[in-house]
Amino acid sequence: MKKQKITIILMFFALSLPLTAQTLSLKQCIEYAKQNNSNIKIASLNSEVSGKLVNEQIGNALPQIDFNGSLTNNLIVTTSLLPAEFIGGAPGTFIPVKMGTKYSAAGNIQLTQKIIDPSVWIGLKAAKLSADLSLQNIQQTDEQTFYNVSSAYYRALVIQKQFDNLHAILAASEQSLKSTELRYKNGMAKKIDVDKIRVSYNNTKSQVEQTELNCKQALNNLKYSIGMSVDSSMIILDSLAEDFWENYSGPKENNSNLFENRIDYQMRKTNIALYEADKLNNIAAYLPTLSFFANYGYQAMRSEFDIFKSGKEWYTSSAIGLNLKIPIFSGFGRLAKVEQSQLNIEVAQENLRLSEQSIKVDISNYNIQYRTALDNIKNEKENLALAESVYKNTQLEFTQGAGSSLDLVQAESSLRETQNNYYTRLLTLYVAKLDKEKAEGTLINYINNLK
């Protein structure tokens, strides 16, 4: 069977699409996902939140200025007791006296500046680490999104290749059926020959229809992965040659950046740094803090509610000073927090070591999977070429009257099965390549370098 270069997916569906259908290659799908995939958008927004946390911590280290104001109506003026002897009364007795005025108002502005407070600078360091972690989360989200998009793209592409080849078999089978029916009418073929070929034709037709449905589902999954509405019209380009793997040199066994290339490993290291910052912050609770303050205020006291009447007296006050706080005893609460932080660090470090072993296993397993996929696709490609050759020869012999209908049906069934095996192996190879690159931490570079 002569192979044709497949340039677009869903050709059978393209005629029914509106003229506004978008035609995208794999790289264009990736670019579309960068702008429209919700997971990428969420990761980006979370990164912005972390950036604002850094600004918040910087703000805590800067001078703080506050204004406090009050307006009071003393419905019942407070009564105080004065010793009666102050005004010539008997010693030991008291005279009730109302102290204060019915109305009062006050305003005060205060500046506070932290001079010594280790927790501020540790908090700033932790905020910057959180910002770094959010950037790493963006990279991890990009990687997983690119993987999902590529996997969905390859699946749609492989199913389309399968559909086109099945459609070619169906066309050949239909031609054989018409030819045999004509020969039967002329008394040159048996009814059983027509029935056998019709059964084979119907089987191929059913498989074509099922593959068509699989194409539509695969395309819908691709739309979802890039953030496109399922109602949108899209055609994807076959930008990869079917023998693309022949250009690969194979898996890289040695990698000096075995762990550092993996974004999840980098995130674990950042988490350890965050736990260490948390421990330092808890230790800082033992240390003294010193801050400077300065304030200036106005106060008015009135018997009548004429506080803001011009000409009335306002009394000013002002002060500057230092506040010193020295922690002495907290019921061992601070010690417990420090111990918790240390345990969290040890757990994170153990998880990092566990991650190193897991990465080694991943790389080894996915290398094996990829090598196996390479061997399998080469074998299946040879089998497919043989099955196509057998089918062509059998079809020719049957047309010339030298072959039986049974041989033709068997050759067609064998070709369908061999094609199904081949395209299953082809998809496995595509995914195995993605898995290998992801395990080695080079997936994003691999996709960016695709032509």
pLDDT of residue 182: 87
Query: In total, how many domains does the chain have?
Result: 1
In a domain, 33, yes or no: yes
pLDDT band at 250 (very low <50, low <70, confident <90, very high): low
In a domain, 378, yes or no: yes
pLDDT of residue 13: 41
pLDDT of residue 190: 85
In a domain, 90, yes or no: no
- Rounded CA separation 100/85 (Å): 22
pLDDT of residue 249: 58
What mean pLDDT is predicted for residues 388-395? 89
Whether 11 and 164 have beta carbons less than 8 Å apart is answered as yes
CA angle centred on 242, ends 431 and 202, rounded to 5°:
90
Going 169 to 175 to 176 to 177, the CA torsion angle's sign is positive
pLDDT band at 399 (very low <50, low <70, confident <90, very high): confident
Nearest to 140 by CA among 450, 449, 357, 443: 443
99 vs 144, residue with greater confidence: 144
pLDDT, tens digit, for every residue of 302-312?
888 888 888 88
CATH number at residue 187: 1.20.1600.10
What mean pLDDT is predicted for residues 361-382? 92
In a domain, 401, yes or no: yes
pLDDT, tens digit, for every residue of 119-169?
999 999 999 999 999 999 999 999 999 999 999 999 999 999 899 899 998
In a domain, 3, yes or no: no
In a domain, 80, yes or no: no
pLDDT of residue 9: 37
In a domain, 85, yes or no: no
Domain that residue 40 falls in: 11-74+95-448
Pairing of strands 94-98, 234-236: unpaired
pLDDT of residue 203: 92
- Rounded CA separation 152/252 (Å): 25
- Rounded CA separation 119/123 (Å): 6
In a domain, 34, yes or no: yes
pLDDT band at 239 (very low <50, low <70, confident <90, very high): low
